[in-house]
Chain A
Amino acid sequence: MTETSIPSRPAPSDALLDVRHLKKYFPIRGGVLSRVVTNVKAVDDVSFSIRRGEVVGLVGESGSGKTTVGRTILRLGEPTSGTIDFDGADISKLSKPAMRRYRKRMQIVFQDPYASLNPREKIRTVLGHALAVHNIGTSADREDRIVAMLEQVGLSGDYLDRFPHEFSGGQRQRIGIARALAVEPDFIVADEPVSALDVSIQAQVVNLLEDLKDKFSLTMLFIAHDLAVVEHISDRVIVMYLGRIMEIAPTRTLYRNPNHPYTKALLSAVPNPDITARKDRIILKGDIPSPINPPSGCVFRTRCPMAIADCAKIVPVPVEVSPGHFSACIRTAPQPSYGQLAAQDMP
Chain B
Amino acid sequence: MSDAFASSSTARTNEPPLLEVEDLQTSFIVGEGQDVRAVDGVSFVVKGGETLAIVGESGSGKSVTSLSIMRLLPKKIGRISRGTIRLRGKDLVSLPEGEMRAIRGNDIGMIFQEPMTSLNPVHTIGTQIAEVVMQHSKLGKKAAHQRAIEMLELVGIPEPVRRASQYPHEMSGGMRQRAMIAMALSCEPSVLIADEPTTALDVTIQAQILDLMRNLQAKMGMAIVFITHDLGVVAEMADRVVVMYAGQVVETGTVAEIFTKPLMPYTSGLMQSIPRMGEYEEKTRLQTIPGYVPLLTKLPGGCRFRTRCAFAEERCAAAEPPLEVLDSGRSVRCVRWRELDLKTKATA
Confirm or deny: A256 has a beta carbon within 8 angstroms of a beta carbon on chain B: yes
Q: At the interface with chain B, which of A14-22, A270-278, A309-317?
A: A270-278
Confirm or deny: B210 has a beta carbon within 8 angstroms of a beta carbon on chain A: yes
Least CB distance from B259 to A in Å reads 5
**Could you mark each residue 203-217 of chain B with 1 if its beta carbon is under 8 Å from any beta carbon of chain A, else 0?**
111111011000000
Least CB distance from A261 to B in Å reads 12
**How far, in angstroms, from A132 to B174 measured CA to CA in the complex?**
46
Query: Are the C-beta atoms of A267 and B208 separated by less than 8 Å?
Result: no
A287 CB contacts on chain B under 8 angstroms:
172, 174-175, 205
Query: Are the C-beta atoms of A227 and B274 separated by less than 8 Å?
Result: no
Known contacts: A227-B277, A255-B277. The answer to whether A273 contacts B207 by CB under 8 A is: no
Confirm or deny: B288 has a beta carbon within 8 angstroms of a beta carbon on chain A: yes
Confirm or deny: B256 has a beta carbon within 8 angstroms of a beta carbon on chain A: yes
Query: Are the C-beta atoms of B280 and A283 separated by less than 8 Å?
Result: no
**How far, in angstroms, from A273 to B70 measured CA to CA in the complex?**
29
Query: Are the C-beta atoms of A201 and B232 separated by less than 8 Å?
Result: no
Residue of A nearest to B233 (CB): A271
**Could you mark each residue 185-221 of chain A with 1 if its beta carbon is under 8 Å from any beta carbon of chain B, else 0?**
0000000000000111111101100100000000000
Known contacts: A203-B287, A207-B285, A231-B277. The answer to whether A273 contacts B271 by CB under 8 A is: yes
Residue of B nearest to A64 (CB): B202
Which of B204, B278, B289 is A266 in contact with, Cβ under 8 Å?
B204
Known contacts: A61-B202, A198-B57, A287-B174. The answer to whether A171 contacts B292 by CB under 8 A is: yes
Least CB distance from B338 to A in Å reads 24
Query: Are the C-beta atoms of B235 and A274 separated by less than 8 Å?
Result: yes
**Could you mark each residue 220-234 of chain A with 1 if its beta carbon is under 8 Å from any beta carbon of chain B, else 0?**
000001111101100
Confirm or deny: A281 has a beta carbon within 8 angstroms of a beta carbon on chain B: yes
Known contacts: A201-B292, A227-B203, A287-B172. The answer to whether A272 contacts B273 by CB under 8 A is: no
**How far, in angstroms, from A287 to B274 measured CA to CA in the complex?**
28
**Could you mark each residue 33-74 of chain B with 1 if its beta carbon is under 8 Å from any beta carbon of chain A, else 0?**
000000000000000000000000110000000000000000
Which of B208, B235, B273, B285 is A199 in contact with, Cβ under 8 Å?
B273
**How far, in angstroms, from A170 to B308 measured CA to CA in the complex?**
15
B210 CB contacts on chain A under 8 angstroms:
271
B232 CB contacts on chain A under 8 angstroms:
270-273
Which of A200, A265, A281 is B273 in contact with, Cβ under 8 Å?
A200
A274 CB contacts on chain B under 8 angstroms:
235, 259, 276
**How far, in angstroms, from A203 to B289 measured CA to CA in the complex?**
8
Confirm or deny: A99 has a beta carbon within 8 angstroms of a beta carbon on chain B: no
A: residues with CB less than 8 A from B are 61-62, 168-171, 198-204, 206-207, 210, 225-229, 231-232, 255-256, 265-275, 279, 281, 283-284, 287-288, 303
21 example contacts (A-B, Cβ-Cβ < 8 A) are as follows: A61-B203, A62-B202, A200-B57, A200-B289, A202-B273, A203-B274, A203-B288, A204-B288, A207-B285, A226-B275, A228-B275, A231-B277, A232-B283, A269-B206, A273-B231, A273-B271, A275-B256, A283-B204, A283-B207, A284-B204, A287-B174
**Top 4 A-B residue pairs of the complex, sorted by shortest distance between their CB atoms:** A271-B232, A61-B202, A269-B207, A203-B273
Q: A61-B202, A62-B173 are in contact. List 10 more A-B contacts (CB 8 A).
A: A168-B292, A169-B58, A198-B293, A207-B288, A271-B232, A273-B231, A273-B259, A273-B274, A273-B276, A274-B276
